[in-house]
């Protein structure tokens, strides 16, 4: 291993008891992957094919669900392959690319949630200015920015990690992240750690502050209005609040887990490492599909049509 090059393969040691339960893990993982792909795709298709849903709030929802599909494809294909493989390995370049892909997903998720909070803030607190402030051109620019900023940030962190000389080759994880890769280096990683702290702070704290501020203002407006107004406001904000809390909590678990590698039981380490990649993409379409009446009504009509079609046919 002294002749290390960037083509070296890294071992993913986060998999647990694959020899005994290999096919059980594969079936469970495949079912979860299919559920995420199908559920998100259904809601995206409903929004795309129904012109009355071509409004800013629903466009943001579609963008959030597209991001979930993007993040999922960065994890599950490799994970499914590893479950069936005798050795769970990945090249250094592919590992960096997977980390880059997954961090873009996480950064975009936070920025999209903050853009959605702004949309709800303007809708509820400044309804007369909504059409002026939230134009479709503005929505497109915000969505592009939500993808562009994390991509630029993670390009830098990936390049900083690529220059490192590694002296260890085992990741105690089931997928790659930049922090775990940096810990394998035996050289100076001060630049990586400093930039990682800056990048994480930029990804988390401004969106977090903006979301909290938006909902404080929304709450203030709701308290000054009627019960009917509060009910309608809650109906549109509740899915976003649940998704924001879900992603924030699972992301915190992932950050804590990255710092505590080796200090928690192996099975808990594995479960904590995939929470923010599985739970939000799995529950987001369910929450939006059930809680937003317009989407739920259209999905219900589609299901009813399918049932009627099969009854007539058979």
Residue 86 lies in a domain: yes
Residue 136 lies in a domain: yes
Predicted TM-score (pTM) of this structure: 0.85
Residue 248 lies in a domain: yes
Residue 4 lies in a domain: no
Closest C-alpha among 14, 69, 79 to residue 40? 69
Q: Find the length of the chain.
A: 314
Residues 29-65: b if buried by 16+ CB within 10 A, e if exposed: beebbeebbebbebbbebbeeeeebebbbbbbbbbbb
Reduce the secondary structure of 202-241 to three states and give it as a string.
HHHHHHHHHHHHHHHHHHHHHHCCCHHHHHHHHHHHHHHH
CATH label of the domain that carries residue 107 = 1.20.1070.10
Residue 1 lies in a domain: no
pLDDT of residue 310: 43
Closest C-alpha among 242, 247, 251 to residue 200? 251
Average pLDDT value for the chain: 83
Provide the domain limits for residue 57: 9-313
Measure the CA–CA gap between 133 and 141, rounded to whole angstroms. Answer: 12
Residue 110 lies in a domain: yes
Both ends of the chain: CA-CA distance in Å? 65
What does the pLDDT profile of the chain (314 residues) look like in tens digits?
444 444 478 888 777 666 677 888 899 999 999 999 998 998 898 888 888 888 898 899 999 999 999 999 999 999 999 888 888 889 888 999 999 999 999 999 999 999 999 999 999 988 889 988 899 999 999 999 999 999 998 999 999 988 888 888 888 788 888 888 888 888 888 888 888 888 888 888 888 888 999 988 988 888 888 888 888 887 778 888 888 888 888 777 777 766 665 566 666 667 767 777 888 898 888 888 766 667 767 767 766 655 554 444 54
The structure tokens 């490192």 sit at 164
Number of domains in the chain: 1
Positions of E strands within 84-223: 89-91, 170-171
């Amino acid at each position: 291993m002294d002749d290390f090059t960037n083509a070296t393969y890294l071992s993913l040691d986060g998999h647990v008891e694959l020899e005994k339960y290999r096919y059980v893990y594969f079936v469970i993982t495949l079912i979860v992957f299919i559920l995420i792909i199908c559920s998100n795709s259904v809601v995206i298709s409903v929004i795309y094919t129904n012109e009355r849903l071509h409004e800013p709030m629903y466009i943001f929802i579609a963008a959030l669900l597209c991001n979930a599909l993007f993040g999922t494809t960065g994890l599950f294909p490799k994970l499914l392959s590893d479950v069936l493989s005798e050795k769970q390995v990945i090249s250094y370049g592919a590992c960096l690319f997977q980390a880059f892909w997954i961090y873009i997903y996480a950064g975009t998720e936070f920025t999209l949630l903050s853009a959605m909070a702004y949309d709800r803030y303007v809708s509820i607190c400044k309804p007369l200015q909504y059409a002026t402030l939230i134009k479709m051109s503005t929505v497109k620019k915000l969505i592009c920015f939500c993808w562009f900023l994390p991509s630029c940030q993670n390009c830098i962190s990936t390049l900083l990690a690529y220059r490192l000389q590694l002296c260890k080759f085992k990741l105690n994880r089931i997928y790659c992240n930049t922090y775990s890769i940096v810990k394998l280096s035996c050289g100076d990683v001060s630049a990586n750690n400093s930039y990682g702290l800056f990048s994480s702070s930029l990804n988390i704290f401004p969106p977090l502050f903006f979301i909290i501020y938006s909902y404080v203002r929304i709450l203030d407006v709701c308290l000054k209005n009627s019960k009917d107004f509060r009910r309608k406001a809650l109906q549109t904000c509740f899915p976003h609040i649940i998704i924001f809390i879900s992603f924030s909590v699972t992301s915190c678990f992932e950050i804590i887990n990255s710092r505590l590698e080796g200090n928690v039981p192996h099975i808990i380490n594995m479960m904590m490492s995939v929470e923010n990649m599985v739970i939000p993409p799995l529950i987001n379409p369910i929450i939006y599909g059930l809680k937003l009446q317009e989407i739920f009504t259209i999905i219900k009509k589609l299901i009813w049509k399918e049932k009627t079609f099969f009854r007539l046919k058979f």
